[in-house]
Structure 1
Amino acid sequence: MSPESALEEVQAVVKFVASGLGSSAVDQILDAENKRMAENLSSKVTRLKSIALDIDQEAVDQNRYLDGMFVSEGCSVALTVHPQPDLQMKSSEMQRKT
């Protein structure tokens, strides 16, 4: 159910109920609907947070993998194809550190 249709449904129910009930009953209905919608939103936010954390971990893993490539022999092949003195120096410095 879309938020717009849910809101229209709640408004229709409130009008119907308000015609026969006092304001406290209408407040209770609105409070219950607000709680339901807040719980729905909370579950969506929790899911989005989980996805964001997964994306972050994936980026860390890929960066670690790419960093490893610069230390390996595969990088020296890439550097000979497109020699760049700064990268060759950094690569040799990295190899000495490990």
Structure 2
Amino acid sequence: MEPAVYILASKRNGTLYVDVTSNLPQRIAQHKAGIVDGFTKKYGVHRLVWYECLPTMLEAIAAEKKLKKWRRAWKIALIEKENPYWNDLEV
């Protein structure tokens, strides 16, 4: 398990959700199964469109805070740079 910051989307150019986790595969499975109550469940945001693994949880949290301050257009550009078709990524 390694810390990661990730972006979920409801669909291409849809609702975005940024978060951090210490276990990305488990966390994504929870989102997809609807186990996690809150924003992602309410708005159907469960497509993993971008993620970055980092060496420590402190670095992952710092990256998440930075990414949350970004404008939406910057987040979309980041996603499309590595995942131009907004595919649901495997972890």
Compute the TM-score of the two structures, normalised by the length of structure 1: 0.24
Q: Whose relative contact order is higher, 1 or 2, with alpha carbons under 8 Å and at least 6 apart?
A: 2
**Structure with greater strand percent:** 2
Bigger Rg over Cα: 1
**Structure with greater helix percent:** 1
